[in-house]
Chain A
Amino acid sequence: MDPTEPNVAHLLKKGIAAAQAGDKAQAHEILTRVTEQDPTQESAWLWLAGVAESTEDTKTYLQTVLAINPHNRQAQKGLKWLLSKTGEQMPGAGLEIADFSQFSAAPNDFMPAGELTPSFVLTTEQAERIDECLARMAYESEAKCIILADMTGQLISERGQLEEMHTQVLSALAAGELAATNEMARLVGEKARFKLMLHEGERNSVYLSDVGEQLILVIVFQVGTPIGLVRMILKQAVDELAPILVEAREAGVSRESINNTLDGDFAKLLESELDSSLEFGGD
């Protein structure tokens, strides 16, 4: 909570005074601040009901009072009266949206809308080049499994004995771990990021490394594999992979072919697929 905010009791007094003086807009603003700081302030909600702009608002505020204290007589009476009145006067009236913009999603100071997420598309050819590179690494290093993922935990490519590895989960964990250690680096005043991590086990070890700030390589190998070898192969791979991924981010598959797949049909088919695949039983 913001310590610079005037205390709740004081604000409440001010809000009530404004309501009593007939300044509804001012009262609404102050009382809303009170409820934002302390939503259990029964009397603030009650006064809000009094200065609300529409009957629907009044109803909501009164219901809120009753949610806090079901025995509040004023709210009970008010709501009863309101329901009998609205029953006659406003059948099916829509909910008017009060000015809650100060805490709903409408801030004004955004940069122009860019890409929603750092998304990218791999062409078949790019995916093959990456797969080849990982296959060669796996062969040369005798690694059990090699995974290329991005910083958000998205698995991009994988090679090796994959059956026993939950590679998607490994990607998510690796991304989380690198992100966490990078944050640690920052907190201890380290300017550069921690570039790699090694977890040594009794039978298997895991090596994590970031590739050009955007990507992560995860290598699972048996204990006994010389770590120097893994590092050397890793370095070569990084040099090879980075340009492919830069290319993929910049150009990739033509927008047209994606558009042809991801059209209105796709959304409809997805919806029916969701209905049939996810179990809604007992829901």
Chain B
Amino acid sequence: MFINWKLRELNLKIVYYGPALSGKTTNLQIIHAKTNPKLRGELVSLKTREDRTIFFDFLQLELGSIKGLKPKFNLYTVPGQVLYAASRKLVLQGADGVVFVADSQMSRLADNIHSFKAMHQHMKELQLDPREVPCVVQFNKRDLPDVAPVALLQRYFAPNGRPSFESVATDGVGVFDTLKAAINQVVAQVQQKL
């Protein structure tokens, strides 16, 4: 969190984390495509020729002033491929909240679990308590045939009532619900910490 009292700006960082090809970049692309251009910056993607994220994607959203303070949200994705663990940790630095994007396919459950565990490990290395970091979970690709039951995914990734959303990010379904929940959680946490 960074507040500039002169400019009356509140800056918050939200990171989309998850295993390879779970749809993190797609979330940002949809947010970029469907948000009023006046409220969002450019979508920057550092990717390979095969369209795989190599470092991160970045998108800034800027809302109108609320009680004299202008909220700005810096959205990042991490690269999902196993190879880029170091990059994921770097991007996670200074995050005010995370969105964990899980691939709902049964065959990807193990990848989701490993990614989720690694995220907690990175948080600990960055001296963050994973229980304290605001986190919402998105079960993506619900339109595919072999998806795991939501109840099962919730047990793994959203126990104790953590907010979770079903999505088909490619069609934009669930993308904004997830983002809104993440923003609300982050702001609630900031209020609590002050």
Q: List A residues at the B interface (Cβ < 8 Å).
A: 1, 35-40, 56, 59-61, 63-64, 67-68, 95, 97-98, 100-101, 103-107, 110-111, 113-124, 127-128, 131, 150-157, 166, 168-169, 172-173, 176, 179-180, 183, 253, 255, 258-259, 261-267, 269-271, 273-275, 277-283
B42 to chain A, nearest CB (A): 6
Q: How far is the CA of A107 from the CA of B128 in the complex (A)?
A: 12
Select from chain A the residue with minimum beta-carbon distance to B112. A39
Q: Which residues of B, 1-36, contact A by the 8 Å Cβ criterion?
A: 1-7, 10-11, 13, 31, 34-36
Q: Are B106 and A67 in contact (CB under 8 A)?
A: yes
User: Closest residue to A280 on the B side, CB-wise?
Assistant: B176
Given contacts A103-B156, A154-B74, A166-B41, contact A117 B109 (CB under 8 A): no
* Residues in B102-156 with C-beta less than 8 Å from chain A: 106-107, 109-110, 113-114, 116-117, 120, 124, 127-133, 135, 146-149, 151-152, 154-156
- Determine whether the beta carbon of A117 is less than 8 Å from that of B96: yes
Q: Is the CB of A105 within 8 A of B120?
A: yes
B101 within 8 A of A: no
- How many whole Å from B4's CB to the nearest CB in chain A? 5
Q: Are A278 and B179 closer than 8 Å at their CB atoms?
A: yes
- A176 in contact with B6 given A39-B107, A258-B194 (CB within 8 Å): no
Give chain A nearest CB distance to B26 CB in angstroms. 14
Residue contact A279 to B36, C-beta cutoff 8 Å: yes
Residues from chain A with a CB closer than 8 A to the CB of B87 are 180
Is there contact, CB below 8 Å, between B155 and A100?
yes
A64 touches B106 (CB 8 A): yes
Q: Is chain B's interface secondary structure helix, strand, loop, or mixed overall?
A: mixed
CA–CA, A266 to B184, complex, Å?
A: 11
A82 to chain B, nearest CB (A): 13
A36 touches B113 (CB 8 A): yes
**Top 9 A-B pairs, shortest CB-CB distance:** A152-B94, A127-B6, A39-B109, A119-B1, A63-B149, A121-B3, A124-B6, A179-B90, A60-B151
Closest to A157 in B: B4
- Cβ-closest chain A residue relative to B177: A283
Q: A216 to B94, alpha carbons, bound, how many Å?
A: 15
| Chain B residues with CB below 8 A from A168, complex form | 41, 60, 74
Task: Please report the C-alpha to C-alpha distance between residue A64 and residue B193 in the assembled complex, in whole angstroms.
Answer: 40
In the complex the two chains form, is A270's CB within 8 Å of B187's CB?
Answer: yes
Q: Report the separation of the CA atoms of residues A246 and B149 in the bound assembly, to the nearest whole angstrom.
A: 50
Question: Residue-by-residue, is B53-94 near A (CB-CB < 8 Å gives 1, otherwise 0)?
Answer: 001101011011011110100101000000000110011011
B133's nearest neighbour on chain A, judged by CB, is A116
User: Could you give 8 example pairs across A and B, Cβ below 8 Å?
Assistant: A103-B116, A107-B120, A172-B56, A179-B90, A261-B68, A265-B67, A266-B67, A278-B35
Q: How far is the CA of A180 from the CA of B135 in the complex (A)?
A: 26
* CB-based contact B156/A104 at 8 Å: yes
Q: Which chain A residue lies CB-closest to B93?
A: A152
Contacts of A120 on B, CB cut-off 8 Å?
1-3
Smallest CB gap from A119: residue in B: B1
